[in-house]
Amino acid sequence: MSFPRIKAVVLKPMRIAFASTPVGAIGAGQGGGVETTIQSLANGLASLGHSVEIYAPLGSHASNANVHQVQGTLQVSMQEVSRTEPIAMTKGSVLVGLWDLIQQQQDRFDVIINFAYDWLPMQLTSLMRTPTVHLVSMASLTDAMDKIIISTSHQHKFAVAMHTATQSSTFVGVSSNVRILGNGIELGNYVFNSNTNGPLGFIGRISPEKGISDVVAVASRTGLPLQMWGLMQDDKCFSDALAENPLADVHYNGFLTTSELGQVIGECRGLLVASKWVEAFGNVVIEAMACGVPVIAYRRGGPSEIIQDGLNGFLVEPDNINSLVSAVARLETISRAKCREHIVNYHSVNAFAQRVEDWLVARCATSV
Ligand code: HBI
């Protein structure tokens, strides 16, 4: 009886450098979802036996990784510039400072992961001795960034990864070797709650592209209280939504840290996601499900790839407020335990880190 030879691929630990976003220090909040991704991925890769060092703007901090802080002028957010905006390198740019240091120290690493949605790191891919890869954190925003993301994806096999296929499809002509990685969160931060008759919930920046007026209208039409958490980025859109829906019972709770949020989301009977733009992923969707909270979202962007309609939430016709309202009435048909189970299986830090490790191995195995 001969046993098939089982080729155990024992992966040697990798020395990994993270190049962070230049829009703010890690932990300051400007980096939004990227900060959560960097922190959870540093933990996940460390638990797989790899060593991670992070290069980030002054004031950054992260657990489980050695942080090299670089001073310099923060980069203007790509979300604030127009589609035809040329690439700008501000004087004393922290982005230039970060990559000066990284290219000086690159031989200490087996691979470099860039998290910045910026032109310079992509342009440097061909010039680096250490294999360099890019996890693109947002959908298409400007022509200049589209051009370099698409060309880098064709020039260097497996050098580019994204969170969802929807996000990737916004870059028309991007290579099919782009890796789709989803995302991952620390399950320990999120407390499961089986309660089904709590308020409705919203988490996210209070700003027009998040569909605030639609969310408040649902509270008004269902007569259910609405708890809202997030950075008050545009208080006019908030006050307009309240003025349009005088009967809505709305409670704005401010911006909470990840661990504070994980303690309270579970009280909600359902989370509303009414984004007007293409969310690259939708961290709040997996954060809510981790607490047992089903998610009701417009069938648009990243959330439409995370939510399994009828199993852990509902996907409804975009911009149709009444379809959100009728989904609220069906929330009790969803198993809250299955919401958490989906995150454990697909969007835990470990599941995400495993997909990233596979990506890094594929990139390092190619010579181009
Ligand atoms: N803008 N120029 C630039 N670079 C980034 O890395 C960047 C950004 N805007 C927003 C942002 N990153 C993150 O908040 C999102 O990727 C989540």
Regarding whether 342 and 205 lie in a shared domain, the answer is yes
Domain membership flag for residue 4: no
Regarding whether 358 and 306 lie in a shared domain, the answer is no
Regarding whether 174 and 25 lie in a shared domain, the answer is yes
Nearest CA to ligand 1 atom 5: 117
Domain membership flag for residue 106: yes
Per-residue pLDDT, averaged over 62-73, amounts to: 93
Query: How many angstroms does the Cα of residue 190 sit away from the middle of ligand 1?
Result: 25
Question: Any idea what the CATH number is for the domain that residue 135 is in?
Answer: 3.40.50.2000
- 13 vs 128, 178, 254, 347, 361, CA distance in Å? 21, 24, 41, 23, 11
Chain centroid to Cα 203, Å, comes to 14
Regarding whether 341 and 199 lie in a shared domain, the answer is yes
Nearest CA to ligand 1 atom 7: 117
Domain membership flag for residue 8: no
Query: How many angstroms does the Cα of residue 23 sit away from the middle of ligand 1?
Result: 6
Regarding whether 157 and 193 lie in a shared domain, the answer is no
Regarding whether 197 and 166 lie in a shared domain, the answer is no
pLDDT of residue 192: 98
Buried b (16+ CB within 10 A) or exposed e, 14-38: bebbbbbbbbbbbbeeebbbbbbbb
Ligand 1: atom nearest CA of 79 is 9
pLDDT higher for 332 or 8?
A: 332
The amino acid at 221: R
Query: How many angstroms does the Cα of residue 117 sit away from the middle of ligand 1?
Result: 5
User: What's the total number of domains in the chain?
Assistant: 2
Is the predicted pLDDT of residue 91 greater than 60, yes or no?
yes
Regarding whether 352 and 290 lie in a shared domain, the answer is no
Q: Which residues contact 315 (CB under 8 A, 6 or more apart)?
A: 297, 298, 299, 303, 304, 307, 309
pLDDT in tens, 200-255: 999 999 999 999 999 999 999 999 999 999 989 999 999 999 999 999 999 999 99
To test the pocket of ligand 1, the residue of 55, 79, 95 to mutate (highest count of ligand atoms within 8 Å of its CB) is 79
- Cβ contact 306:294 at 8 Å: no
Nearest CA to ligand 1 atom 6: 116
pLDDT of residue 2: 58
Is the predicted pLDDT of residue 89 greater than 70, yes or no?
yes
pLDDT in tens, 154-199: 999 999 999 999 999 999 999 999 999 999 999 999 999 999 999 9
Regarding whether 141 and 61 lie in a shared domain, the answer is yes
Q: 37 is in which domain, residue-wise?
A: 15-184+348-362
Regarding whether 87 and 218 lie in a shared domain, the answer is no
Nearest CA to ligand 1 atom 11: 31
Q: Which residues contact 301 (CB under 8 A, 6 or more apart)?
A: 139, 164, 166, 167, 275, 277, 278, 279, 280, 282
To test the pocket of ligand 1, the residue of 41, 78, 162 to mutate (highest count of ligand atoms within 8 Å of its CB) is 78
- Cβ contact 74:23 at 8 Å: yes
Query: How many angstroms does the Cα of residue 75 sit away from the middle of ligand 1?
Result: 9
Regarding whether 194 and 179 lie in a shared domain, the answer is no
Residues with CB under 6 A from ligand 1: 21-23, 31-34, 75, 77-79, 116-118, 137-138
How far is Cα 363 from Cα 33, in angstroms, rounded to an integer? 24
pLDDT in tens, 99-152: 999 999 999 999 999 999 999 999 999 999 999 999 999 999 999 999 999 999
Query: How many angstroms does the Cα of residue 77 sit away from the middle of ligand 1?
Result: 6
pLDDT higher for 158 or 6?
A: 158
pLDDT in tens, 281-338: 899 999 999 999 999 999 999 999 999 999 999 999 999 999 999 999 999 999 999 9
Nearest CA to ligand 1 atom 10: 77
Regarding whether 330 and 211 lie in a shared domain, the answer is yes
Query: How many angstroms does the Cα of residue 142 sit away from the middle of ligand 1?
Result: 12
How far is Cα 240 from Cα 243, in angstroms, rounded to an integer? 5
How far is Cα 314 from Cα 294, in angstroms, rounded to an integer? 8
pLDDT of residue 122: 98
Domain membership flag for residue 304: yes
Largest CA distance in the chain: 78
Query: How many angstroms does the Cα of residue 195 sit away from the middle of ligand 1?
Result: 36
Ligand 1: atom nearest CA of 115 is 6
Regarding whether 178 and 34 lie in a shared domain, the answer is yes
Domain membership flag for residue 96: yes
Ligand 1: atom nearest CA of 21 is 6
The amino acid at 51: S
Domain membership flag for residue 5: no
Domain membership flag for residue 197: yes
Per-residue pLDDT, averaged over 62-71, amounts to: 92
Query: How many angstroms does the Cα of residue 29 sit away from the middle of ligand 1?
Result: 11
To test the pocket of ligand 1, the residue of 18, 55, 74, 77 to mutate (highest count of ligand atoms within 8 Å of its CB) is 77
Query: How many angstroms does the Cα of residue 116 sit away from the middle of ligand 1?
Result: 6
Domain membership flag for residue 338: yes
Query: How many angstroms does the Cα of residue 310 sit away from the middle of ligand 1?
Result: 33
pLDDT of residue 11: 81
The amino acid at 142: T
